[in-house]
Structure 1
Amino acid sequence: MEYSRDDNKNLPLTKFESMLKTNHVLFFDSEEFENIIHHYLNQGKIALAKKAIKLGLGQHPTSINLRLFKVEIYVFEDKLIEADDLLNELYGLDPTNEELFIQKANIYSKKDEHLKAIEVLKHALELTDDAIDLYSLIGMEYLFLDNFEEAKAYFMKCLESDLEDYSALYNVIYCFEFLNQNEDAISYLNMFLDKNPYCEVAWHQLGKQYFILKDYRKALTAFDFAIISDDTFVGAYLERGKVLEQLKRYEDAIENYNITLKLDDPTSFALLRIGSCYEKLDNEDLALQYFDRTVHEDPLLDKGWIAITKFYNKKKNYQKALYYINKAINIDSENVIYWKLYSQINQRLNFYEEAERGFKKTLELGNYELNTWLSRGDLLIKLGEPEAAIYNFEQAIEFYPENAEIEYRLAGLYFLINENDKGTFHLKNGLRYNQEYTFIIDELFPKVSNRVLVKNLLKANL
């Protein structure tokens, strides 16, 4: 039993908490202690749970259930040796107690010994008449092992015993999705709905499977049934809005997203999608209004800042785009997408030093796309920093060996600083890898392209 503050049966809990404030020790039977401890553990109040265990064992030192709570605390605190020792002691007293095996499995799981945990839990199945919790625990252990087929089978067993075990239903669908078995997921959900036709969660999950398969008409029907089953189901309205967007029914999508704003606190996702729909309807004022609300609602949502920045980018209002991307970077300076946009916008404004700084930061954050290396190197060439450009491209070639675009750039740079042997080496590499990129020499290094040595090398190899 779990206590509630509004429950008249919580007298033992009130009595216990009153006792803690005084020096008077009151008596509780062992079951009352168990309920008090269970309440505190569910509330995450570990210190109070430990006090209750200590006092409980003081009054009922032979209680196996109270000592099992002590094991649970040991496991929680990663005192696995102490937990194991106490479990072994309790096993000698009550070898058929299924909770002993559950806690033993918990210890194995903490040690990442998931197969042993499964073995112990399967033994516990032989000792119980109520297997649902054990099926769920076994399913979770199989998930830890990435054995999604076995995990799926055990979560299905949970649903065979309890059709309203939505946690198990979500886990079953998660396994189907991970295995890319969307058609099988649809078949399973349809069978489930035959038994439980008003389950909004199952209709919602069915709609998501159809959405993945881009069967938007069936997805829409599934979300309709989810809403019929529960007309306050926010998730169904959000997913229905996404489907309507795919069908280019933007006004209907906005209507669904707006319903979610009335049913619950505004979500940045809904606000962003409304803004995007208005943008597609060419209603720029309302699009901007909702993009602005998105970033105010959740300043950490990068999609909001990206949407408003790209909006101004499309309008070629680069100053405004730069203003918003700078605000985004001030909030999260480790976001690679922000820095890429920052660089692109600065490039369009001919702020080459800032653009180069942005690409450099992008690389430092681990974005090693070829275009990032090329863009940064080209900017360094434009800024008259050939040595820095060479270093950039030498790094790039480690990630993209035998790349003609890099080789021609290195060739041009080495010729530019009169290191002709290295220039020749890289030019021959470029010609060997792809002759179609020779225009790079003309475009980026016009002075170099007129040199006799370069012209002769090109002629000899073309």
Structure 2
Amino acid sequence: MNRLIIELSEIAKEYFAHQDFEKCEETLDKLIAFCKGEITLAQNGEMIFIDDEDKHYLLLEAYHNRALCRFNCLQYEKALEDVNLAIELDHKNPALFNLLGLCNFYLDLFQDALLAFNKAIALDNAYTSAYLNRARAYMLLDDINNALKDLQIAIDLESKIPNAYYTRAITLLNIDPKQSLMDLQKAEQLGLENVDLFYFQGVASENLGDYEKAISFFNKVIKVDENYSDAYFKRANNKRKINDLEGALQDCQKSLELNNKNAMAYLILGHCYRDLENFDSSIKSFKKSIELDENLKYPYYALANLLYDLQDYQEAIFYYDKAIEIDEEYIQALANRGNAKLQLKRIDEAQKDYDLAASYYEEQHNKSKFEDEALEEFKNTISHNYYHLANTLYELKHYQKALENFEKTLRFKPEYPEVFFNRSHLLTDIENFSEALEDCKKAIKYYKKHNQEDKYFKSLTHKAWIQSKLGNFKEAIEDYNLVFKADKININSDFENAYISRAYCAKELEAYEELIEYCNEAQKVCENNFRVYFWRGIAKYYLSLEEEAIEDFNKALKYSKEADIYYYKALSFEDLGELEEAIKTYDEALLEDLENDVFYYHRAKCKRELEEYDEALQDINKCLELANDNAKYYLEKAQILSFLQDYENAFEMAKISCNFDPNSYESYHFMGVIKIHLEDYKEAINYLSKALKLNRKDIWTFYYKGERLRALGEFKQALREYEACLKIDTKNLDALLSKAECLKQLQEYDEALEAIHILLDLDPKHELGLKFKNILNNKTKKQNKKWWQVWL
């Protein structure tokens, strides 16, 4: 090759080495023009010619070098043209494909860049730079996993190359900041001298939450380059996180002095003003950040959050919308926009935002190779939002949707005790007590494990209440007792209710002594609760302590005029035989509940016993107007009518009573008694026999049947009835006297006299018994005379 041509090529290389790219390109232009025959060159007056082989080599080298020149001058499109021309001359050169990839990369043609780097690696699978460059392309395409694979290959190929560690550190800044920090330190150890090393170490430390260390790195950046504006606003962000708000504000202002077009600096300034509660300045700063870079999502998001906290939910939604327009997979913005819509009761729209955020989270989680702290934060946000949506739906009584969202909450956070506790309450509201109990047990297990005493005891109290709704009153009392035995319980309204609920369980178990004890304890913490006195009164009533019961009912009535309190008070008077007081109290009960059939029934009974039959009849008629399907009401009317000697209608009422309750021996007994009054003894015996089939413990049924049989001359059958009566009550004087009468008729005088002796032992002054004794004694004497004595 001609010496002049060689010298021109060497001159071009020298210009390139000294970064005089303009003169380098001029020289290469001449060489390319010469090779293409566009110009001629002469040396010593003679034209220079080169053969085709030299021309090919020279042209390839010139295109390659001019591409490098133009690339370094940031003329990427022209560089791309040259490298493509070079590749036409040599399509097996990996360095050319690597350069082709770089040109495409800087022209934002990332897919084309990947194809070029792939080709370079295919030609040379140990080409470290190609792996590094392909990794950068993958990063910008958000294919982090492939980027990291390429970086690891580059490090494995050449472990002493600091750029591989440096690039990987940048890749891992937000994914694995701990490894990123280690890689930056490794790059520094391998000799990389770059102020950005300190800067990115600061960013990694910030991402690790070590704000003091981050500040120290940004201090180093500023010491090396006091005009590094980004370092000031990054240091400001870390200062605000350690509550050095004034220092943070000064750093933001310094950053903006150096570069007043920096959108990120205004963003951090907005955060500083917000922390200082200067909300107007904060809003202005966020808006300035948006003005400077409309494609930056963070200022929109930060401004929306501030407006949300200021309860301007509609305006907040506007800026969340803007952030999501920039990044439709912006999980936090979607979640927070959902929160704003929830505040405005736009429930369905909030649900859609939460579901979108959840789906994007799951996509990112599945793609991520690392336990990303940001993704963990997203997961917590999503579960928290679903939880609050579920609670809102619960408050609105949209139970099914609330349950669905509680379930979604648990999908993202399986161990969420508040979900179990609140869902347990919801399930009790829809009376699904079994599932409510299971949820409550899960909450209790968690709170006990983590020593959250207050929540543990609240859950235990709720569990006890659920047990009571399931009818498991003993188990409920056991749980309540666990709550009350705790040393650190602060009595509040929840626990006051627990004392009352425990008493309720004892009432339902009819454990009246325990009920009195529990009411006494409840009185110490909620003395103004009428149930304390009411239920204690009920317990005393059933323990036949009617006078004490009445005292408690009077105390209860100071706090509540519930009709049932009057009712039990009236029952107590009734049992004490104070019928007039009972009637007055039933009157008061009816003032509170005029349509209560039970009150009319009991008042009718009291009036009947006071022989006020007409008024009693009015009450029982009113009672039957209110409830015409109760057997005992008809039976009571039958009794009242019988006292009014209206036996026919009395019988009809007793018959209706029997129709409603065919197993009521009282109805048959009473029909038998009425038939006695109507002197239809055979029918009386028939009904009394039916009564005895249902109940063989009523002495009077046996007695009345015996009386009618005796009246019909059926003495043996009558005797069996009296004996059955006396098996139940050996001291029944009427049955003893009637038995003696039957035995007399059967001429069993000794046995009859024995019955009379028993009667007189019980009542020595019994007039009929004494008369009957004399009669029987005479009969016995006559029976004992000899036959000849009779005829004397």
TM band (smaller chain): 0.5 to 0.7
State the alpha-carbon separation in 2 of the partners of residues 227 and 103 from structure 1. 35
**Equivalent residue, structure 2, for 1:63:** 456
**Which segment drifts farther, 334-343 or 251-260?**
334-343
State the alpha-carbon separation in 2 of the partners of residues 34 and 132 from structure 1. 26
Is 1:29 the counterpart of 2:384? The answer is: no
Deviation of the 1:349 alpha carbon: 2.5
The 3 A distance-change label for structure 1 pair 156 and 256 is: farther
State how 1:11-410 maps to structure 2 within 5 Å.
29-30=420-421, 57-58=444-445, 61=448, 63-65=456-458, 67-68=460-461, 76=474, 87-89=484-486, 92=489, 94=491, 96=493, 97-102=495-500, 119-125=520-526, 131=529, 133-140=531-538, 143=541, 145=545, 146-154=547-555, 156=557, 160-161=561-562, 163=563, 165=564, 168-326=565-723, 328=724, 333-336=727-730, 337=732, 340=736, 342=739, 345-352=742-749, 354-355=751-752, 368-370=762-764
Q: Deviations over 1:196-215 (max 9, x none)?
A: 33322222122122112111
Q: Deviations over 1:37-95 (max 9, x none)?
A: 9999x9xx9xxx99999777446645325544669999949x99x97675230662555
Percent of paired sites with the same residue: 15
State the alpha-carbon separation in 1 of the partners of residues 474 and 757 from structure 2. 44
The answer (yes or no) to whether the contact 1:176–1:182 under 8 Å persists in 2 is yes
Q: Report the residue type matching 1:370 in the other structure.
A: P
The 3 A distance-change label for structure 1 pair 362 and 117 is: farther
Unpaired segments of 5 or more residues in structure 1?
1-7, 13-26, 383-439, 447-462
The 3 A distance-change label for structure 1 pair 192 and 324 is: closer
State the alpha-carbon separation in 1 of the partners of residues 568 and 673 from structure 2. 32
The 3 A distance-change label for structure 1 pair 256 and 35 is: farther
Q: Secondary structure at the match of 1:92?
A: coil
Q: Report the residue type matching 1:300 in the other structure.
A: K
**Equivalent residue, structure 2, for 1:404:** none
State the alpha-carbon separation in 1 of the partners of residues 512 and 718 from structure 2. 50
State the alpha-carbon separation in 1 of the partners of residues 474 and 625 from structure 2. 43
What do you get for the CA RMSD once the two structures are aligned?
A: 5.2
The answer (yes or no) to whether the contact 2:718–2:742 under 8 Å persists in 1 is yes
The 3 A distance-change label for structure 1 pair 268 and 169 is: farther
The 3 A distance-change label for structure 1 pair 115 and 196 is: closer
Q: Secondary structure at the match of 2:645?
A: coil
State the alpha-carbon separation in 1 of the partners of residues 426 and 739 from structure 2. 57
The answer (yes or no) to whether the contact 2:692–2:701 under 8 Å persists in 1 is yes
Deviation of the 1:179 alpha carbon: 4.6
The 3 A distance-change label for structure 1 pair 105 and 294 is: closer
Q: Deviations over 1:83-137 (max 9, x none)?
A: 767523066255551145347879999795988755533334358xxx4533422
The answer (yes or no) to whether the contact 2:520–2:532 under 8 Å persists in 1 is no
Q: Which has the higher contact order (CA 8 A, sep 6+)?
A: 1
The answer (yes or no) to whether the contact 1:156–1:172 under 8 Å persists in 2 is no
Q: Report the residue type matching 2:676 in the other structure.
A: E
State the alpha-carbon separation in 2 of the partners of residues 210 and 188 from structure 1. 13
The answer (yes or no) to whether the contact 1:272–1:304 under 8 Å persists in 2 is yes
The 3 A distance-change label for structure 1 pair 116 and 321 is: closer
State the alpha-carbon separation in 1 of the partners of residues 430 and 729 from structure 2. 42
The 3 A distance-change label for structure 1 pair 159 and 50 is: same
Q: Secondary structure at the match of 2:650?
A: helix
Q: How many residues align?
A: 342
Deviation of the 1:285 alpha carbon: 2.7
The answer (yes or no) to whether the contact 1:234–1:260 under 8 Å persists in 2 is yes
Q: Report the residue type matching 2:561 in the other structure.
A: E
The answer (yes or no) to whether the contact 2:658–2:664 under 8 Å persists in 1 is yes
The 3 A distance-change label for structure 1 pair 126 and 186 is: closer
State the alpha-carbon separation in 1 of the partners of residues 613 and 722 from structure 2. 34
Q: Report the residue type matching 1:153 in the other structure.
A: N
